[in-house]
Chains A and B, each alone.
Chain A
C-alpha cells in the first residue's frame, strides 16, 4: 500500500537487531508447495509469483519445497512449479509424508532449512500452512508473520518487510525479522495474484530423505472425509460477488443481496458483523478473518469498508459500493460509488441489470 520505511527500526529493550555473522550464509527464497491427494493448492503458485519478485530483488534463487508419499507424483508438481518461476525444487519423498501430519512435515521442513539455509520461507495461510509454519518457526526459533497482504524487501536491511493488518484489521503494520533466519511468512489464498505459467521454464530437483519411520510418529491419519461438493461455496475463486454489510439493517433486507447475486450468477459475500449476527454462514465472510477474494466484479451494499473487510476484497477488478454515507471509507477504494440507501438502490440495480441482460441476450440470440 505505501512504501516500506527505508530506515532501520531502533533497538529497544536491549534487543539485538543485527544479523549475526553465521546467519549471513542464509540465501534464497523458498515456497512450500502445498498439495493434497495430487492437487496443488493454488496459493502455492500465487506465492511462487510473489517469491519470484523477492528473489529477483535480492538477486537470489527461488525454490519450491515438495513433500509427499512415495507413490505421489511429486516430480510432476516440481515441473509445474518451474513454470511459475521456481528454479529448483527440494523434494522429500517418504511413505510417512502421505497425507499431511504435523510431526513428519515439521521435521522434513526444519531439516531442509537447517541443511540448505534459505533466507525467506513462504507458506500459504491455509489450515496446513499455518499449522506447519507455527511449528517450524518455533522449532527454528525464528520470526513468523501471519496473513501478510504485502511482501517487499526493505532496501536498507535487505530484510523481508511483511505487511499485515493489525488491531483487528483497523490498521496495517510492517513486520521484519532482522536478527534471525529464515524469515518466515504466511499469505492467504488469493491475496497475491496468480502468475502466468511459462511452460518453457525448467529447473533442478534436489531429492532429500526423511529420517523417520511410521512407528516414530505418534499421530495416525485414520481417514479423510472430503467435503461434499454440491453445495460448496467457492467464494475465494468466484468471478462476481455481491456482498452485504450491517447497513442492510436486517436479515430480511439481506435477501436483496441474494436476489442481485441470483440475477448475476454471482456468489454472496458478507462482512464480519453480518456473519457474527448469524445472517449468513461463516464461509461467506470476506475479509481478514474470512476469505480473500479477487473477483472481476464486487458489489458492496451497506458496507462501510473497514480495513478488516478491505484487505479481503480490494484486489477485485471493479468495486461498486452503495452506502448512505458519502464519507464512508469504502469510497476511498471503490471504483464506482453510489451514495444512497442500499435497501432502496439494490432492488433498482437488480432490475436494471435484469433488463440489460435480457436486452443483450435477445440481441445475441
Chain B
C-alpha cells in the first residue's frame, strides 16, 4: 500500500514575512466547515423564507377581510393556534439568522481592521440574540387576556373576569 498522498506532500504554506510593511501571509487559518454551512444555510433558509413570508403576507393581507381584519384580536387569535405559533417561530429564527449572517459577511467584506470587525460583530450578535429571544418569548407566552388586568384595557372577546 502506497503512502497516502497527504503524508507525501506537505501543503505549501505562506511563510511569515513582511515586505515594505505589507504582510502577505494569510492570517488565522481555521480548518472547519463553518463557512460552508453558513453559505449553504443562506440558500436553504432563503428558499424556505420565500414560502413562509409570502404565506404570512397572503394570510394577513389578502385572505378573508384582508388587511382590514388585522387588529389585536386577529394577532391574538393567530397565536392561540399552535400552527401559527410554529410558523411564526420558524420564520423568526430563519429570518433573523439569515439576516445576521448576511450582515456578518458585509462586515467581513467592508471592515478593514480586525478591531472594527470584532466590535461590529459583537454589536450585531448581541442585537440579533436579543431580537430572537424576545420574539420567541412573545410567541410562546402571549396571552391576549391576562388575568387580573384592568377590564377597561382588555379586548372585547376576553371572558369577563
Q: Are A and B a genuine interacting pair, yes or no?
A: no
